[in-house]
Amino acid sequence: MALCVGLVLLNLGQMSNAADDQRAREIVDRVARLFISKSSISEVEMQITNENWQRNILMRIWSVGEENILVRIISPPEDAGTAVLKVGSNSWYYLPKTKRTIQMPASMTMTSWMGSHFTLDDLVKQSHLASDYFITTSFEGTRNGVAVNEYTLTPKPATVVVWGKIVLEVRQADHMPTWQRYYNEDGKPIRELTFSEYTTVKRRLIPTRLIMRPLDKAGEQTALIYKNISFDVPISEEIFSLNNLKR
Amino acid sequence: MSGRILGLAWRNLWRNPRRTLIAMSAIGFGYAMLLFVACLMAGLRQQMIETGTSLVLSDIEVHAPGYYPKRSIHQTLGGRQGTNVGTLLAAIAADPRIDAASPRVYAYGLVSATTQSAGAEILGVVPNQEQKVTVLQTRIVKGSYLTERMPKGILIGDRFATTIGVGLGSEIIVLTEAADGSMGNDLYTVVGIFHTGLDAIDRGLVLMSLASLQELLRLPPVRIHEVGIKLHNITEATTVAAALGAQLGKTLPVRVRAWPELVPELADYVQFNRGVTFILFVIFFMLVIIGIVNTMLMAVIERTRELGMLMAVGMRPVHVVSLILAEAVGLAAASLVLGGVIGAPLLWYLQVHGLNLGGVGDEVSLAGVVVGHHWYGQQDFSAYSQAALGLAVTALVSALYPALRAARFRPAEALRKV
């Protein structure tokens, strides 16, 4: 009899676990899609600090869904006019100095973007988090007086991903991310992304200040600041053409 | 006494000329073969060191401490302030053992034609100075080397040209992160295409003028990454590097490396090549031992009666030993002369004409080194004399047993032998 009760309890436990995972998946998916909408136009400043130089890059980003993205550098003057167009898995660079467009190797979207600690994929391709990883809730409770949930994401065997593990902390109250830590395959933390300055834009709450720190290089970081963002604005398809890239 | 023994030994050798000649030709021919192999091995070493160092490297390289091998573009000689390149080159050229020196700048970037792009190492050089240090200009298959007249000219490898689909006169874009973090990019024209046979170079290196690369990287003219140095005699590389490091280090923080440190696998190969040569020597000496023991033992046994007679009339055992040893050394010496006579034209031929490896397509490479269609020999006189000395010692050692045997003859018994 006692055994039967035990089994039932065990089953219940598993069921609630599965339900939790479903809930966790929804929350992670929402975090991953924070900046993704039918369309958006944003103005973003990158403040890059590394051991060799410090510079701020202002850029304007047009996006429709996740497949069509155009990034145009506004300042500083030496890089102004440089643009990147990404349509599906193809990317092109426009270099105003040479007035030439070059096709970028796919691997370049996974390396440092404009010398920052973000990759181009970090900026434009976050939505796969929920589908590429197993998600478990690794902490629930209060940290620094804020009720938070912590989720651990481990890659599904079949997916090709860079990271061995990603840990993500989300505020319980509004499901806003507070930090996200990336681990390599040996379980060593490599970089940390922190979120702050949450603002409501068109009834959407988003963090407008993202800071990426490589954990092996003290003092280096890139702050990504959303100066301006508008969601669901009409954007013509022509924006995402090679002709427009050269404009 | 010793003069008389030598004379006697020489005469004894020719008492059975056929046997002596057969032994002589075996040893002499072996020695000639040894010379042949040593010459080829030295040629391979030479070729390997030459292709390894003279194409894009050099005998010695001067860097800022910590620059090599990571090659961060920020770690220029003299740090962020840079250094007076003219003064530095003059200080280097002051050493009489140094033939020429050439300043260089390196970067890594994306090189792109209209649709195809590939990553490449970009080397910036002063064309007429670099040509005194390296020999890449001799490997141009299309167009010409960089010239001062075309500051936006670029030199690429044939494999790289195929990869990104460009030819002579094509425009290509180079994209790289400049020293201030901006995206350095500019348009260049392919003025020459080279082929070295070394995949890493043909596929992954592009050259432009030093000033152009500094401009692309937003580095002022005082900031360079490296000075490549050519010596009159490459065997002095390690010594000169140490001296230069101490000398330059007084005014500028530097790290000076000789080629064995820059390409340790090349130094390992040279070591390996010498090892193989040595093993061949040892095998040959062992064969010689058998030949001489056999010849001398026969000579001793055949002359038992005669040696017994000599001892009976008062020749002491030590003199008998000396006699036999002298005969062996005489045999070895005559063989060496014969070997030298056979070998000399072979060595001359190897150096001048090389060994034809055949084939008309791609060049032949041995152990990762392009040797071309001809494998040229290189005279290695120290190896030749070591082989000769080794042979003489071997002859002495192998004659020891027959000599001692002869010395133990009892005259009375020996005389009775037929």
Q: Alpha-carbon distance A78 to A74, whole Å?
A: 10
Q: Do B294 and B251 belong to one domain?
A: no
pLDDT(B99) > 90: yes
Domain boundary among B210, B231, B262: B262
Q: Do B137 and B233 belong to one domain?
A: yes
Would you state the structure tokens that stand for residue B306, as one six-digit string? Answer: 């005669």
Q: Among the residues of A82-187, which ranges form H helices?
A: 120-124, 129-132
> Helix, strand, or coil here: B127?
helix
Q: Alpha-carbon distance B153 to B163, whole Å?
A: 19
Interval A21-26 mean pLDDT: 86
Q: Alpha-carbon distance B52 to B59, whole Å?
A: 9
Q: Do B46 and B62 belong to one domain?
A: no
Shortest Cα–Cα distance, A108 to chain B (Å): 10
Q: Which residue has the tokens 């290189």?
A: B378
pLDDT(B402) > 60: yes
Residue type, position B28, single letter = G
pLDDT(B6) > 90: no
pLDDT tier at A15 (50, 70, 90 boundaries)? very low
Give φ, ψ of B225 to 5 degrees: -95, -25
Q: Do B181 and B323 belong to one domain?
A: no
Evaluate whether B69 touches B261 at the Cβ level (below 8 Å): no
> Helix, strand, or coil here: A126?
coil
Selection from A193, A172, A195, A171 nearest residue A183 by Cα: A193
Lowest-pLDDT range, B82-96, B245-259, B370-384, B386-400? B370-384
Contact B177 A115 (CB under 8 A): yes
Enumerate the β-bridge partners of residue A92: A85, A103
pLDDT of residue A157: 86
Q: Does B183 touch chain A (CB under 8 A)?
A: yes
pLDDT(A16) > 70: no
pLDDT(A7) > 50: no
* Cis preceding linkage at A76, omega within 30: yes
Q: Do B255 and B307 belong to one domain?
A: no
Q: Do B365 and B396 belong to one domain?
A: yes
Interval B323-346 mean pLDDT: 91
Q: Does B114 touch chain A (CB under 8 A)?
A: yes
Selection from B258, B384, B400, B252 nearest residue B326 by Cα: B400
pLDDT tens, position by position, B132-142? 999 999 999 99
- Average pLDDT taken over every residue of chain A: 86
Q: Which CATH superfamily is domain A2-34+126-229 in?
A: Lipoprotein localisation LolA/LolB/LppX (2.50.20.10)
Contact B181 A93 (CB under 8 A): no
Quick one: residue B66, left, alpha or beta (phi over 0 = left, psi -120 to 50 = alpha)?
A: left
pLDDT tier at B12 (50, 70, 90 boundaries)? confident
Q: Alpha-carbon distance B72 to A231, whole Å?
A: 41
pLDDT(B361) > 70: no
Evaluate whether B22 touches B13 at the Cβ level (below 8 Å): no
- Top residue of B112, B114, B117, B154 to mutate, by most chain A CBs within 10 Å, is B112
> Helix, strand, or coil here: B93?
helix
Q: Does A13 touch chain B (CB under 8 A)?
A: no
pLDDT(B164) > 80: yes
Q: Does B185 touch chain A (CB under 8 A)?
A: yes
pLDDT(B254) > 80: yes
Lowest-pLDDT range, B5-9, B10-14, B47-51? B47-51
- Average pLDDT taken over every residue of chain B: 89
Contact A100 B177 (CB under 8 A): no
Q: How far does Cα B314 stand from its chain's mean position?
A: 56
* Cis preceding linkage at B69, omega within 30: yes
pLDDT of residue A200: 92
Q: B346-368: b or e for each residue (b if 16 or more CB lie within 10 Å)? A: ebeebeeebbeeeeeeeebeeee
Interval B21-32 mean pLDDT: 88
CB count within 10 Å of CB A125 equals: 18
Interval B302-317 mean pLDDT: 86
Q: Alpha-carbon distance B124 to B109, whole Å?
A: 13
ipTM value = 0.80
Nearest to B185 among A48, A97, A108 (CB): A97
pLDDT tens, position by position, A165-180? 999 999 999 999 999 9
Interval B183-205 mean pLDDT: 92
pLDDT tier at B1 (50, 70, 90 boundaries)? low
Shortest Cα–Cα distance, B70 to chain A (Å): 15
Beta strands in chain A (DSSP E): 39-49, 54-64, 68-75, 83-87, 90-95, 100-104, 133-143, 146-155, 165-171, 177-183, 189-201, 204-214, 221-231
Lowest-pLDDT range, A203-212, B163-172, B289-298? B289-298
Q: Does A108 touch chain B (CB under 8 A)?
A: yes
pLDDT of residue B362: 63
Contact B183 A82 (CB under 8 A): yes
Domain boundary among B225, B242, B262: B262
Q: Do B118 and B196 belong to one domain?
A: yes
Contacts B179 to A, Cβ<8 Å: 52-53
Instruction: Count CA atoms closer than 13 A to B66's CA, side-chain side.
Output: 9
Q: Do B257 and B322 belong to one domain?
A: no
- % residues pLDDT > 90 (chain A): 49
Q: Does B144 touch chain A (CB under 8 A)?
A: no
pLDDT tier at B156 (50, 70, 90 boundaries)? very high
Q: How far does Cα A133 stand from its chain's mean position?
A: 15
pLDDT tier at A61 (50, 70, 90 boundaries)? very high
> Helix, strand, or coil here: A242?
helix
Q: Do B44 and B63 belong to one domain?
A: no
Interval B338-348 mean pLDDT: 93
Q: Do B243 and B332 belong to one domain?
A: no
> Helix, strand, or coil here: B57?
coil
- Top residue of B183, B212, B218 to mutate, by most chain A CBs within 10 Å, is B183
The contacts of residue B60 (CB under 8 Å, 6+ apart) are B228, B229, B231, B237, B240, B241, B244, B256, B257, B258, B259
Interval A98-117 mean pLDDT: 84
Contact B187 A103 (CB under 8 A): no
Q: Alpha-carbon distance A83 to A114, whole Å?
A: 11
Q: Do B123 and B142 belong to one domain?
A: yes
Q: Alpha-carbon distance B361 to A114, whole Å?
A: 44
Contact B180 A55 (CB under 8 A): yes
- Top residue of B116, B174, B180 to mutate, by most chain A CBs within 10 Å, is B180
Q: Alpha-carbon distance A47 to B302, whole Å?
A: 98
pLDDT of residue B73: 93
Domain hosting B386: range is 2-52+267-416
- Top residue of A72, A102, A109 to mutate, by most chain B CBs within 10 Å, is A102
Highest mean pLDDT among A102-116, B186-200, B278-292: B186-200
Contacts A114 to B, Cβ<8 Å: 181, 183
Axis-axis angle for helices B17-54, B317-352 (nearest 10)? 40
Residue B152 burial class via C-beta count within 10 angstroms: exposed 0-12, middle 13-18, buried 19 and up: middle
The structural domain count of chain B equals 2
Nearest to B182 among A50, A78, A100 (CB): A78
Q: Does A106 touch chain B (CB under 8 A)?
A: no
Q: Do B157 and B292 belong to one domain?
A: no
pLDDT tens, position by position, A181-202? 999 999 999 999 999 999 998 8
Question: Would you list the domain boundaries of chain A?
Answer: 2-34+126-229, 55-115+232-245
Q: Which CA distances in Å does B34 have to A219, B37, B374, B375?
A: 64, 5, 20, 17
The contacts of residue A175 (CB under 8 Å, 6+ apart) are A27, A30, A31
Axis-axis angle for helices B381-407, B317-352 (nearest 10)? 160
Q: Which CA distances in Å does B77 have to A239, B220, B228, B241, B252?
A: 46, 12, 13, 16, 8
